[in-house]
A and B are shown apart, each in its own frame.
Chain A
Amino acid sequence: MQEAIIKRAKELLADGSVNRVIGWKKGEFVYDITPAVFETAEEIDADFVYNELTSANVSKYLVKETKKDGKVLVFLKPCDTYSFNQLTKEHRINRENVYVIGIPGGPKLDVEKIKAKGITGILNITNDNGTLKIETLYGEETMPFADAVSTKCENCKSKKHVVFDELIGEDGDITDTNRFEMVEKLENMTSQERFDFWRDQLSKCIRCNACRNICPACTCEKCVFDNPDLGTDNKAAADSFEENMFHIIRAFHVAGRCTDCGECSRVCPQNIPLHLLNRKFIKDINSLYGEYQAGEDTTSRAPLTDYTFDDCEASIVHERGAE
């Protein structure tokens, strides 16, 4: 796959269709891959990678990149195309300045899951038919590929690209992988148990902002939490509830716009399952305003910014909240 992607990237650069390529750049180790903009075939040959460890969603970089001169080429996995559409819908991406090639997605690996098994000193990782062979400073280790799959790929919502100018590989279908299972478990808890669950998780937060800054739905020029002029800035968890406020407000701000891309949970250094907050909102929106998948298209009206006679009454939402 990597070869086909590199070949096409170089062709489009050579014939002048695009003047930059957004992709993934290899790092010091096998797994520390950085999203990058490539300008020449030489750069691509030297550093471009696409494999089981390139899990970053690069669509948010287009907010910045499509403001520049010339067309940029981007490779999007199925899940990334939803983010792309959502950003286009919100007028954050200049669609004319980007050429989209859809590429097959995951399942991707999360190296942290390998390290959590006590496998450290990692020098190389290869996939041998579903078994990971991990070369380390302390000898070779093996583990099932399935046990190291990134959380965001465990509940893949779609193998279908919802937008592309061309495709490399086959397109897939929308998948049904029980992504609300854990949300239901949380719903079935008593409110005290649920409160304790979230307090426990969110109290780990160090307010590093990785979740917000990676999020394709968080593209405000100035986030309320960064604005000293507004008096709402909060740089750190100054009291024991403050980080909870941050997450509650962020979840509300992305409600109806979050595509469930899973990047927030992937990058959280404290492994907080942020995707569960967002999925709760998605599930509620589905049941209160009808099935809706953010990023599926660029034209439909979003449930929370639209009014229809079928909308549930505000009182119903209010009663549900009372419990």
Chain B
Amino acid sequence: MLKISKDRITEIFNTVAESKSLYLPVNREDGQAEFKKYENGMVLSENLNTLRSAKDFFFPQTENLVDFKMEGKNIEVIDVREECEDFVIFGVRACDARSFTILDKVFLADPVDSYYKNRRDHGTIVTMACTRPSETCFCGSFGIDATEPEGDAVCYTDGSSYFFKANTEKGEAFINSVSSLLEDGDTAELEKVQAKTKEILAKLPLSNLSTDSFGGEKLNELFKSEKWAELSEACLGCGTCTFVCPTCQCYDIKDFNTGNGIKRFRCWDSCMYSDFTKMAHGNPRLSQVERFRQRFMHKLVYFPANNNGEFGCVGCGRCLSRCPVSMNIVKVMKALEEK
């Protein structure tokens, strides 16, 4: 397999960054990793994953959709869309790579979301196989292999080198663009590392978490479960879980009055909020019990019901470590499973 030694990885970054914007996980001063636009001198984070997910690249927290300009009785509609430039995201984990497939099902289904598609078409995703899964990881429950991530190209490490493999044309183009830096390498050590990671994955505390009790056909039973009241009791309705989640996809569209026109923008929304899907009569989900239920029913029941059984969670564990009251999808699944 083509490889580069670990200490030369910045040469790859520099080469890619010459022609395209390159984003990679970099550590902040508080030790948390976040995707940053690469500049010479930046160091790839060793953290397992970024605090925020990678969905921001395709589905940003806020974006302008269209402008309206008013003059007298005339309204001019200004299309603000511009062709996005090519970019590369390096170091995406297997869980987050799968989240793009899930988001695609929402945004690329008819009618296609042209804003999302624009970014998706121009982005190349280079994933990174995991070697140190954490106790909060449960990607395996959703059929994701952390050692064999999806993505346009995949990067693996055996500790001393980075190996590259292309999955798509975009991935091949990426590897070709840096091929002068790569050499053919022996994968014996890599295979050992991969096997070891698989062992760890098998003994993760959540490795036995099963999705058998969930899916579209369980709708009535789960919707009516009496457990929701207790499960949602501590929930603050803050929305942190939805904002850090790579697959949460709900948004609101609002008009901002600029004084002589309107900027119509969309921003992330959260089913945990009191004004979510507010209509003339109010929010159809009157209390936090229903709002809380919505988030988990969406991921575990409604989404699979509409998408051939695919769940709307990738087991990244972000909601496990970020919820201020430590309530999360794993606790919900375990509680609902017990009859």
Given the known interface contacts A213-B238, A214-B236, the answer about A235 and B204 at a Cβ–Cβ threshold of 8 Å is no
Contact B52 A206 (CB under 8 A): yes
Which among A56, A116, A138, A238 has the greatest number of chain B C-beta atoms within 10 A?
Answer: A238
Contact A27 B326 (CB under 8 A): yes
Interface residues of A (CB under 8 A from B): 27-29, 31-37, 56, 61, 112, 115-118, 120-123, 137-138, 206-210, 212-214, 222, 226-228, 233, 235-238, 266-267, 269-271
Interchain CA distance A31-B321 in the complex, whole Å: 10
Contact A123 B135 (CB under 8 A): yes
Chain B positions 313-339 with a Cβ under 8 Å from a chain A Cβ = 320-322, 324-328, 330-331, 334
CB-CB nearest in chain B for A117: B31
Given the known interface contacts A34-B326, A206-B52, the answer about A271 and B278 at a Cβ–Cβ threshold of 8 Å is no
Interface string of B42-65 (1 = CB under 8 A from A): 000010100110000000011000
Interchain CA distance A118-B184 in the complex, whole Å: 32
Q: Which of B112-120, B121-129, B239-247 contacts A (4 or more CB under 8 A)?
A: B239-247
Given the known interface contacts A116-B30, A269-B244, the answer about A226 and B274 at a Cβ–Cβ threshold of 8 Å is yes
- Taking CB atoms, residues of chain B closer than 8 Å to A138 are 132, 200
Which among B236, B327, B334 has the greatest number of chain A C-beta atoms within 10 A?
Answer: B236
Contact B320 A32 (CB under 8 A): yes
B32 within 8 A of A: yes
Given the known interface contacts A27-B326, A213-B237, A214-B236, the answer about A137 and B274 at a Cβ–Cβ threshold of 8 Å is no
- Taking CB atoms, residues of chain A closer than 8 Å to B203 are 137
Interface residues of B (CB under 8 A from A): 30-32, 46, 48, 51-52, 61-62, 132-136, 200, 203-206, 233-234, 236-240, 243-244, 252, 254, 256, 265, 267-269, 273-275, 278, 320-322, 324-328, 330-331, 334
CB-CB nearest in chain B for A112: B321
- Taking CB atoms, residues of chain B closer than 8 Å to A266 are 324
Given the known interface contacts A210-B236, A228-B275, A236-B268, the answer about A120 and B32 at a Cβ–Cβ threshold of 8 Å is no
Q: When the two chains form the complex, which single residue of B46, B267, B325, B331 contacts A56, counting CB atoms closer than 8 Å?
A: B325
9 tightest A-B CB contacts, nearest first: A236-B267, A267-B324, A116-B31, A213-B236, A32-B326, A208-B240, A213-B238, A210-B238, A209-B238
- Taking CB atoms, residues of chain B closer than 8 Å to A121 are 132-135, 200
Since A36-B233, A226-B275, A267-B324 are in contact, a sample of 6 more A-B pairs with Cβ atoms closer than 8 Å, ordered by chain A residue number, is A28-B330, A35-B234, A118-B46, A228-B278, A236-B62, A236-B268
Interchain CA distance A118-B238 in the complex, whole Å: 28
Contact A29 B30 (CB under 8 A): no
Interchain CA distance A213-B274 in the complex, whole Å: 12
Contact B233 A122 (CB under 8 A): no
Contact A29 B236 (CB under 8 A): no
CB-CB nearest in chain A for B252: A235
Given the known interface contacts A28-B205, A269-B244, the answer about A34 and B327 at a Cβ–Cβ threshold of 8 Å is yes
Interchain CA distance A2-B291 in the complex, whole Å: 33
- Taking CB atoms, residues of chain B closer than 8 Å to A123 are 135, 205
- Taking CB atoms, residues of chain B closer than 8 Å to A267 are 240, 324
CB-CB nearest in chain A for B132: A120
CB-CB nearest in chain B for A33: B326
Interchain CA distance A207-B268 in the complex, whole Å: 10
Contact A210 B324 (CB under 8 A): yes
CB-CB nearest in chain B for A36: B234
- Taking CB atoms, residues of chain A closer than 8 Å to B273 are 226, 235
How far in angstroms is the closest Cβ of chain A from B145? 18
CB-CB nearest in chain A for B274: A226
How far in angstroms is the closest Cβ of chain B from A115? 8
- Taking CB atoms, residues of chain B closer than 8 Å to A35 are 234, 325
Given the known interface contacts A29-B205, A233-B275, A238-B62, the answer about A269 and B51 at a Cβ–Cβ threshold of 8 Å is yes
Contact A237 B62 (CB under 8 A): yes
How far in angstroms is the closest Cβ of chain A from B33? 11
- Taking CB atoms, residues of chain A closer than 8 Å to B252 are 235
- Taking CB atoms, residues of chain A closer than 8 Å to B274 are 222, 226
Interchain CA distance A120-B130 in the complex, whole Å: 13
How far in angstroms is the closest Cβ of chain A from B137? 9
- Taking CB atoms, residues of chain A closer than 8 Å to B206 are 28
Contact A208 B234 (CB under 8 A): no
Interchain CA distance A237-B267 in the complex, whole Å: 8
